[in-house]
Amino acid sequence: MNDEQLQSELDTLIATQAGLMAIVGSLMATHPEYEKFQLHLTGLLEVLLTGEAGKTFTQKQRQEAREFVETLQHLNKAPEKIEPLEGIAKLRKKAPSDENPLGAGKFKA
């Protein structure tokens, strides 16, 4: 494998990990039994890292796995009612239609 292929694989792994963190974080934050989930995850991590399954892990791999899980555990529980579209208006100063009736300002009327 050459350097370019290796870099491509590494980029894919990093992007995949970021996506998985977002997915798992969302599932954790919205879990109906959030506290129970957190407690179970803590116990499962210890079993994984110190038990039979973790025997082949290096010390660095154990530490990184622990840090990864602990990062996810710092996510707050999601509110009961989630309004995903509520904050969109705050992301833009003006809607494109406010500036130009034809769209995002690329065309002049």
Tell whether 88 is covered by a domain: no
Tell whether 86 is covered by a domain: no
Tell whether 91 is covered by a domain: no
Q: Are 88 and 95 in contact (CB under 8 A)?
A: no
Torsion angle (degrees, nearest 10) of CA 51, 55, 58, 59: 30
- CB-based contacts of 1: which residues, under 8 Å, 6+ apart? 9
Tell whether 101 is covered by a domain: no
DSSP category for residue 104: S
Tell whether 73 is covered by a domain: yes
Tell whether 43 is covered by a domain: yes
Tell whether 84 is covered by a domain: no
Per-residue pLDDT tens for 44-94? Answer: 999 999 999 889 999 999 999 999 999 888 888 988 888 877 766 665 555
Cα(85)–Cα(96) distance, rounded to whole angstroms? 17
Tell whether 93 is covered by a domain: no
Question: Residue 59 sits in which domain range?
Answer: 3-78
Per-residue pLDDT tens for 14-39? Answer: 999 999 999 999 999 999 999 999 99
Cα(39)–Cα(46) distance, rounded to whole angstroms? 11
Number of structural domains in the chain: 1
**pLDDT (0 to 100) of residue 91:** 55
